[in-house]
Amino acid sequence: MPIKILLIEDNPDHIEITKRILQKADKDYQVDFAMDSREGLKKIFEGPYDAVLCDYRLAGLTALDILKEMNNKNKDTPFIVVTALGNEKVAVDMMKEGAYDYIVKDVMYNDTLDMVIKNSIERYSAKKEKERLQKEVGEAYVKLKETQGQLIQAEKLSAIGQLASGVAHEVRNPLGIILQAVNYLEKKISPCGQDISETLVMLKNSVNRADKIINALFDFSKAGGMELNPEDVNSILEVSLSLVRAKSKFENIQVVMETKKDIPMVLADKNKLEQVFINILLNAIQAMPDGGKITIRSYDKKLEESRNGIGRREGDCFKTGEWAVIVEIEDTGIGVSEENLKKIFDPFFTTKGPAGGAGLGLSVTMNIINMHRGLINIESYPGKGTKLIITLHTVNS
Amino acid sequence: MPKKTILIIDDEEDLRKLLKMNLESAGDFKVITAANGMEGIAWAQKIKPDLILLDILMPDMDGIETLKILRKDKDTFKVPVIMLTALGYAPFKSRALELRADGYITKPIDAGELKTKIDNVLKGFKGGLENG
């Protein structure tokens, strides 16, 4: 393997001498040279060289200037300063700036040059290897944290699944008794005063509320049972919107559809994806008590940028360069604070108060998207609105 | 018209009592109750009810097991059975369907909905395995 050296030296005799020394020491040396600092700097950046041997005293820029310029531009090449006898202090200063080593032009020059260069190259390789390992350790740590997070999430889900069955049985039986008792009282004390009938309605409503929470728990823990088919995401969006329109008031809410025609089919469980869109739309409506605008977008896109869930790592849902279908649902509502944003997909997290729900809507949503090996992201600015972005696999991928 | 006889098999005592009170006060039914599968089968063989409300999750013998025995018995195999359950659990539903259950209601049960369901089943209209 050739060892490519750049020699920056303005004295032609010294160039010749150094070349000879090196070629005598090792036939692998290939010596290129620059006779002034500017040319030297240019060659360094054109590189690559295994090492740069630079005379300290140059016309124009000094070796220190060259080194600083390399540092500014993050150019790391083993840099060795050649100084005259008695100039060691300068050399030490250069070492502080990042020079790999220095060598004094004295009687030892001939014998030590080869060793000095090779030591520097070795140190450079060791440094690079250390950096590579540090990077690998860093990546492994991130991966470990991610896996740990997923494991915790999976454990939570499985625990909630078991809980859901237990809770359903233990709670629905007493709820059944309460409801039957209310039904009985309704009949027995009718006609009754308004306060009594209102109380009975409250009892019934509370039973229904508790029952809805149990249903939500069930939805949340249902992991299996996916029925994947090629589906048109636009028609699922339209059906979901009409279902939400039937259920909720759309007072002062404008809906803008920006769906792309002839979008590729996605591989999805239609009912589950409907549930996802309904959950998000209901959240959007609740976030806009005084009205606002919901924008629904769909488009296909080549995923160029590697980020969480997209890349070439094991466990990434999408590969960079892959085509995917993106659905965005954006509202102009109250938004979510940065602090709450971190917890928004957590089971049982809610800001809506006891009457608002069990805090499972978005965690069910995320669960379903995970089951599709898709991605869900949220962007939100308090006072401005919230955007949910869902990335799904096309049938072809 | 003679009152129809309904057999309720459920391990929850209060629920048995209230279901009986509500159905009987609706006027058209005479209700017998049993606290477990074995007792329920014995009553069913004895009185040959017009309809059975059968809870699924019970200790010792669950509702699915009870239904299996009811369907094998010459005296009870034709009696319509509506399953009661606290779990909206799909495998139970399909198992109940295989055993020719006539209906499936998830608790908590509203008295009005239950009455409609019972009337439909008694009229021979099988409302499938959905609630109501």
* Paired strand residues for A32: A6
For A21-77, what is each residue's pLDDT tens digit?
888 888 899 999 988 888 888 999 987 899 999 988 887 788 888 888 888 888 889
- B95–A contact, CB cutoff 8 A: no
Please check whether residue B20 is in contact with residue B118, taking contact to mean a CB–CB distance below 8 angstroms.
Answer: no
pLDDT score, position A387: 95
Q: List the one residue out of A195, B11, A34, A371 whose CA is nearest residue B19.
A: B11
Chain B: give the shortest CA distance to residue A159, in Å.
Answer: 17
Answer whether B108 sits within 8 Å of A215, measured CB to CB.
no
Q: List the one residue out of A120, A129, A131 whose CA is nearest residue A3.
A: A120
pLDDT score, position A5: 92
Spatial distance between the Cα atoms of A50 and A6, rounded to a whole number of angstroms: 8
Tens of pLDDT along chain A (397 residues)?
889 999 998 888 888 888 988 888 888 999 999 888 888 889 999 878 999 999 888 877 888 888 888 888 888 899 998 887 667 778 788 888 888 988 888 778 888 889 999 999 999 999 999 999 999 998 888 888 877 776 776 676 667 666 777 777 788 889 999 999 999 998 888 777 778 888 888 888 889 888 887 877 776 666 445 678 899 999 999 989 988 887 777 778 899 999 998 899 998 888 889 889 988 998 899 889 888 999 999 999 998 887 778 877 767 788 888 899 999 999 999 888 887 777 777 766 676 655 555 566 787 788 888 888 899 999 998 889 999 999 999 987 6
Answer whether A168 sits within 8 Å of B108, measured CB to CB.
no
For B32-58, what is each residue's pLDDT tens digit?
999 999 999 999 999 999 999 999 888
Spatial distance between the Cα atoms of B62 and A38, rounded to a whole number of angstroms: 91
Q: Which pairing describes strands A375-381 and A385-393: parallel, antiparallel, or unpaired?
A: antiparallel
Answer whether B111 sits within 8 Å of A180, measured CB to CB.
yes
Cβ-Cβ contacts under 8 Å, A171 against chain B: 86
pLDDT score, position A107: 74
Chain B: give the shortest CA distance to residue A183, in Å.
Answer: 6
Residues 113-132 of B with CB under 8 A from A: none
Answer whether A180 sits within 8 Å of B86, measured CB to CB.
no
Number of H helices, E strands in chain B: 5, 5
pLDDT score, position A223: 46
Answer whether B108 sits within 8 Å of A175, measured CB to CB.
yes
Instruction: For residue A123, give every residue at least 6 positions away whose Cβ sits within 8 Å of its Cβ, in sequence order, or none.
Output: A78, A100
Question: Tokens 């502080």 label which residue?
Answer: A96
pLDDT score, position A52: 93
pLDDT score, position B129: 43
Candidates A169, A173, A189, partner chain B, best to mutate (most B CBs within 10 A): A173
The arrangement of strands across the sheet holding A292-302 comes to A253-259, A292-302, A323-331, A385-393, A375-381
Spatial distance between the Cα atoms of B28 and B35, rounded to a whole number of angstroms: 23
Q: Is the pLDDT of residue B127 over 50?
A: no
Answer whether A218 sits within 8 Å of B88, measured CB to CB.
yes
How far is residue B18 from each of residues A287, B10, B63, measured CA to CA in Å? 42, 12, 20
Answer whether A176 sits within 8 Å of B15, measured CB to CB.
yes
pLDDT score, position B130: 43
**pLDDT confidence band for B2 (50 / 70 / 90):** confident
Cα Rg, chain B, nearest whole Å: 13
- B19–A contact, CB cutoff 8 A: yes
Strands in chain B per DSSP E: 4-9, 29-34, 51-55, 81-85, 103-106
DSSP state of B28: S
State both tokens at A323: 């085509």
Chain B: give the shortest CA distance to residue A267, in Å.
Answer: 24
Answer whether B107 sits within 8 Å of A175, measured CB to CB.
yes
pTM of the model: 0.49
- B87–A contact, CB cutoff 8 A: yes
Spatial distance between the Cα atoms of A392 and B5, rounded to a whole number of angstroms: 55
At residue A15, φ and ψ (nearest 5 deg) are -60, -50
pLDDT score, position A337: 83
Cα Rg, chain A, nearest whole Å: 35
Q: Is the pLDDT of residue B92 over 50?
A: yes
Answer whether A169 sits within 8 Å of B87, measured CB to CB.
yes
- B14–A contact, CB cutoff 8 A: yes
Question: ipTM score of the complex?
Answer: 0.79
pLDDT score, position A49: 93
Please check whether residue B11 is in contact with residue B38, taking contact to mean a CB–CB distance below 8 angstroms.
Answer: no
Q: Nearest CB to A184: which of B12, B21, B109?
A: B21
pLDDT score, position A312: 74
State both tokens at A216: 């939500």
